Structure 1
Amino acid sequence: MLGKGPRKQIVKYRESQCTLKRLIMRKNRYKLIVFALVLVYVYHFFGVGDYVQSKNFDNDFNYPLNVDIRPIVQAILEGQKPNVKPINYYPYKFLSNYRQCSVVNKPDLVIIVKSAIDHFGHRDAIRKTYGKPHVQGYNVKTFFFLGLDNASSDVQKNITKEMTEFKDIIQMSFRDSYFNNTIKTVMSFRWIFQHCAEAQHYLFTDDDMYISVQNLRKYVSEVTTASERDGILFAGYVFKSAPQRFRSSKWRVSLEEYPWDKWPPYVTAGAYVVSNKAMKMLYVGSLFVKHFRFDDIYLGIVAKKMGIVPTHCPHFHFYKKPYEREDYSDVIASHGYSNHDELIRVWNEQNAL
């Protein structure tokens, strides 16, 4: 028989053990709650649910307009009236239209520069380098496509002076901003389709790219892919990737906006070249393809709908390729030339070879 003292100690011990168990259970419960909250946060922040719920691109891609648009486009290009109405015609105007391409003296290449409205120095550097009208007998025309700033701003006043002096700026009646790049791209397609539709090839580029017209000329004359034999070329640095679903990302795309688990192959928007036939097919096709805010993705979607397979060309660099004189011998385009003196120096050195 235990005395009262030992029995009290046993009771206290058992009580302390129960208390300890309760504390441990409470602590574990808190840990479980915190863990659950972290999971919910990660699930929400990284868009896990969107990734899980994405549709399979390979089996279920049907981006609006959900019909085969190829016969519709072909009918339009043959001068016929389509039986389907366009769904994506932007209601903007061209506010300047100084230069048009001559039917008699057709350009071999038209360079379409997607330029930010206040990039005066960028445009001036381009005019002194790859934007020149003739490269070793190659007839080139260069146009700068801009959106709109406040009509009374100093920037717009300087744009007006620049347009009067150089007559190579096509300004359009929408706000010049990053998320209007698809509008700027399709509007530039519209302008060349209406006013400069006879060139052999069209180079679309941002205003901070180094461009070698000579290397581009060599590339388009040598390319022998099946698509080019059909007169269709849409070439540049081709990406195959998936939508980003992170909530904090500038490039986040919701399932409502694009429900599939990957993009169609697309050419990065920094610089790409299209043949005459591809230009016309992409523009007319865009009238029947729902707007998307990223211009390179959008053209990839239009190309997919039109059955055009983008051609990967490793000589287009979406990043800034470190400059060495010999290493640039085959470069067609390189990103990151916002330093005007650097662009002029590199271009002059390469063209002195």
Structure 2
Amino acid sequence: MGKCCKCNGRLLCMCLLPCMMTGHLLIYIMVTIFVTISYTPSKIPIHYIAPGISANSGALASHPLSPFWKLHLDHSSLWNQLQHSLDRHYNPILQGNTSGTLRKPIAKLPTPIRDECLSGCASHKCSKPSQYDVNNIPEQMRLFVRSMHCRSYRMLINQPNMCKRNKTKSGLDYPMLLMAIKSQVGNFENRQAIRETWGRSGFVKGEANKKGGFVRTVFLLGRQDSSTGPHPDLKNFLDLENQKHRDILQWDFRDSFYNLTLKDLLFWRWLKQYCPTAIFIFKGDDDVFVRTGALLDYLSKHWEEHKLRRAITNETHMDLFVGDVISNAMPNRDPSAKYYIPESFYRGAYPTYAGGGGVVYSRSLALRLIEVSTKVCLFPIDDVYLGMCLERLGLSPSHHPGFLTFDLPETDRGNPCAYKSVLLVHRRSPKEMLTLWHKLQDMNSKC
């Protein structure tokens, strides 16, 4: 009888042991889940670091402290939808490829996204993106939406020899500064005033160290916009101007405010093919005034510093991007405003960007902008689009107080000495450019 009890006890223990172990395991799992849910780790600030950058100095484009490219961009707006699809397409994790290259060709993307965001096309083949109502937005914005996927346009006027070196051993004929001025067909007076003043091609002396550098100037034009009203055909006048000065670049797209972004994209491609030796690029409007000699002093200093740094670190990139920086800007929702952006097209804040009156950036950064622009859908405001591309590279523009996008105080505009610390001022008419140019010639001796 005793032996039977002992056997029954052992059998009971053997039966209960797995149940007890399973119970303990379930309790452990539940406690672990509870702790995991209740634990909130401290937030770590996100810093995008661009390849080749070793320090955050005023000479280089700075690193943004917070990301503009958010995963939770609103899906109810057209640009946000297209950009999300583009981000997913170029995301190496989602593509299952850690090398950063794409396994799937673009042709495998959904047809609307492939057609609307990734393809280049001739201007006559453009059509509005699918499932987007363009009837309730102004005509200029409507035209942009219908062609925002188009990035390839025929070149009407080219200057393939603009930056070719002469048969001299001197490096002075290398463009230290290539000035790319956004103009329109009818702005003949603006272009001529720039040629006679701050935009002269050739060797330009610096103001402080007299070292200076070789400067080349080109004017970026689209096709004359006939949609804004009846205008005389200026093609013959433009041809005569180009035969005389050989500084016009023109593409076959409608030249409007919302198409200024195209001038950046097409100019970058031209730069890569025809002027890869330019060290710095100035991009500006044809109604600004630039103290070119002072700007060359500023750029020469950074170029010398870069050469010293390169000799020590073998660093090849110089990610300089300088201008009048605008932060925390929001889209203008007033339909009558020049910069109007409807909420159905774009939602969210703008990235930090530099005012489009004029900016300066390095050639190495321009070449990187060419590549990154393929991953950013076109945006109708060109300086904001540049800010988007910089954010994609993990950079922010550097502010310089000498870039006066919003002009001097009215009481100082006629005083030459007030321009002593100015590199760029906006705006000036052709007559004002010529007058100011002559006034500033003896500024150093008078001030």
Normalised by the size of structure 1, how large is the TM-score?
0.73
- Structure 1 match to 2:203: 134
State the distance in 2 between where 1:59 and 1:293 align.
Answer: 20
Q: Secondary structure at the match of 1:242?
A: coil
CA offsets, 1:111-137, max 9 Å, x none?
001012101011111111112122115
The answer to whether the aligner puts 1:108 opposite 2:187 as a matched pair is no
- Structure 1 match to 2:223: 148
Query: Relative contact order (C-alpha < 8 Å, sep 6+): which is higher?
Result: 1
Query: Bigger CA drift: 102-111 or 288-297?
Result: 102-111
- Once the two structures are superposed, the pairs formed by residues 82-93 of structure 1 within 5 Å of their partners are 85=106, 87=118, 89=120, 90-93=151-154
Q: Secondary structure at the match of 1:347?
A: helix
Q: 1:103, CA displacement in angstroms?
A: 4.9
Cα RMSD over matched residues?
Answer: 3.0
> Percent identity, aligned pairs only?
29
Q: 1:249, CA displacement in angstroms?
A: 3.2
State whether residues 146 and 171 of structure 1, in contact with CA within 8 Å, keep that contact through their aligned partners in structure 2.
yes
State whether residues 236 and 272 of structure 1, in contact with CA within 8 Å, keep that contact through their aligned partners in structure 2.
yes
- In structure 2, do the counterparts of structure 1 residues 259 and 109 end up closer, same or farther at CA, with 3 Å as the change threshold? same
Letter in 2 for 1:308: L
- Once the two structures are superposed, the pairs formed by residues 33-52 of structure 1 within 5 Å of their partners are none
- In structure 2, do the counterparts of structure 1 residues 59 and 162 end up closer, same or farther at CA, with 3 Å as the change threshold? closer
Q: Secondary structure at the match of 1:280?
A: helix
State the distance in 1 between where 2:372 and 2:403 align.
Answer: 25
Question: Which of 366, 390, 399 pairs up with 1:279?
Answer: 366
- Structure 1 match to 2:38: none
CA offsets, 1:188-245, max 9 Å, x none?
222112211211100001000001111212222445899x995101110010111122
- In structure 2, do the counterparts of structure 1 residues 349 and 182 end up closer, same or farther at CA, with 3 Å as the change threshold? same
Q: 1:109, CA displacement in angstroms?
A: 0.5
- In structure 2, do the counterparts of structure 1 residues 348 and 67 end up closer, same or farther at CA, with 3 Å as the change threshold? farther
Which structure 2 residue ranges, 5 or more long, are not aligned? 1-66, 74-79, 93-99, 107-116, 121-150, 167-172, 206-211, 310-314
Question: Which of 318, 334, 338 pairs up with 2:425?
Answer: 334
Which structure 1 residue ranges, 5 or more long, are not aligned? 1-55, 72-79
State the distance in 1 between where 2:396 and 2:343 align.
Answer: 25
Q: Secondary structure at the match of 1:95?
A: strand
Equivalent residues, number: 287
State the distance in 2 between where 1:286 and 1:113 align.
Answer: 20
- In structure 2, do the counterparts of structure 1 residues 59 and 92 end up closer, same or farther at CA, with 3 Å as the change threshold? closer
- In structure 2, do the counterparts of structure 1 residues 232 and 70 end up closer, same or farther at CA, with 3 Å as the change threshold? farther
Q: 1:256, CA displacement in angstroms?
A: 3.3
Q: 1:307, CA displacement in angstroms?
A: 1.1
Normalised by the size of structure 2, how large is the TM-score?
0.59
State the distance in 2 between where 1:199 and 1:327 align.
Answer: 31
- Once the two structures are superposed, the pairs formed by residues 292-311 of structure 1 within 5 Å of their partners are 292-311=379-398
State the distance in 1 between where 2:419 and 2:350 align.
Answer: 31
Query: Bigger CA drift: 168-177 or 248-257?
Result: 248-257
Q: 1:247, CA displacement in angstroms?
A: 4.1
Letter in 1 for 2:424: A
State whether residues 287 and 428 of structure 2, in contact with CA within 8 Å, keep that contact through their aligned partners in structure 1.
yes
- Structure 1 match to 2:262: 183
